[in-house]
Amino acid sequence: MTSAIAVDGLEVIFDRFRALKGVSLDVQPGESFGLVGESGSGKSTLLRAIAGLAPVASGSITVNGKTLGARRDKAFYREVQMVFQDPYGSLHPRQTVDRLLQEPLAIHGFADGEKRIQRALDEVGLGNGFRFRYSHQLSGGQRQRVAIARALILEPSILLLDEPTSALDASVQAEVLNLLEEVRRRRKLTFLMVSHDLAIITHMCERLMVMQSGEAVENLAAADLVERRVTKDYTRNLLRASDGFVRTA
């Protein structure tokens, strides 16, 4: 079976700073794969490199059996879409929800735009009342739902999720995570999800990779992490930190 995403020896260099130092990754179709690490670990860079938003110095990225060049073609964006971390920064401030959702349809020449927009809004639980609002008239959770609708409207098979809930309140986070799980089940999507929160990754993903300063620390199944069957100290530290503060008397 061809992998949904296969990354091999990927290096990303920003002005002499090596953000990724030869990372490899393999995600099966329909799988949900997590990337965990602290700031500067390169987890978001890896995601952006796959999306074509980071300068790849060497290594290869293969999506659904097709090895990607420096430039992505339109067909790629029909397969891979992304949801960004900051719901306040990822929606154009001067466009209504309607306009935001129309743009991808116009670019790819879909004729049945009206129906698709309706359906996309229904799918993320927003309905028609939100269609002609500007982003400043929406809450953080609603914005993230719009961003998810925008990512889904081209019917991709792979969704890249860059900390999609870290800017949201806990109760809203739960709603958005549930929504993501639901659309994944319904559309049989492949997820590649970045988070600093181990609990979210174990909740959402089957397998995960722990990263630190641009390198992979270890690959684990979510079940291993739950059972605390980890081999590296760094992962153990992360696990301990996620338990909260422990007073050493």
Residue 1 or 249: the one with the smaller Cβ distance to another protein is 249
Residue 11 or 197: the one with the smaller Cβ distance to another protein is 197
Both tokens of 134, joined, read: 């500007």
- Is 170 an interacting residue with respect to another protein (CB under 8 A)? yes
Shortest Cβ 130–another protein spacing (Å): 7
Shortest Cβ 27–another protein spacing (Å): 18
Q: Indicate the helix (H) or strand (E) that contains 83.
A: strand 80-83
Site for another protein in 181-240 (CB under 8 A): 181-182, 196-200, 202-204, 225-226, 237-239
- Residues 100 and 149: their CA atoms lie apart, in Å, by 10
Shortest Cβ 14–another protein spacing (Å): 12
Of 126, 154, 183, 193, the one binding another protein by CB under 8 A: 154
The answer to whether 201 touches 207, Cβ cutoff 8 Å, is no
> CA-CA distances (angstroms) from residue 224 to 73, 221, 236?
38, 5, 12
Site for another protein in 30-49 (CB under 8 A): 38-39
- Is 155 an interacting residue with respect to another protein (CB under 8 A)? no
Q: Indicate the helix (H) or strand (E) that contains 234.
A: helix 233-241
> CA-CA distances (angstroms) from residue 13 to 44, 59, 157?
14, 12, 28
The answer to whether 220 touches 32, Cβ cutoff 8 Å, is no
Site for another protein in 132-151 (CB under 8 A): 132-134, 136-137, 140, 147, 150
Residue 21 or 134: the one with the smaller Cβ distance to another protein is 134
> CA-CA distances (angstroms) from residue 214 to 36, 46, 83, 217, 219?
12, 9, 22, 9, 14
Residue located via tokens 């971390």: 85
The answer to whether 13 touches 19, Cβ cutoff 8 Å, is yes
- Is 14 an interacting residue with respect to another protein (CB under 8 A)? no
- Residues 195 and 3: their CA atoms lie apart, in Å, by 22
Judged by CB under 8 A, the stretch of 24-32, 59-67, 114-122, 131-139 that binds another protein is 131-139
Judged by CB under 8 A, the stretch of 8-16, 58-66, 172-180, 186-194 that binds another protein is 172-180
The answer to whether 164 touches 193, Cβ cutoff 8 Å, is yes
- Is 169 an interacting residue with respect to another protein (CB under 8 A)? yes
Site for another protein in 65-104 (CB under 8 A): 72-74, 76-78, 81-82, 84-86, 89-94, 96, 98, 103-104
Of 66, 107, 112, 114, the one binding another protein by CB under 8 A: 107
Residue 42 or 104: the one with the smaller Cβ distance to another protein is 104
Shortest Cβ 136–another protein spacing (Å): 7
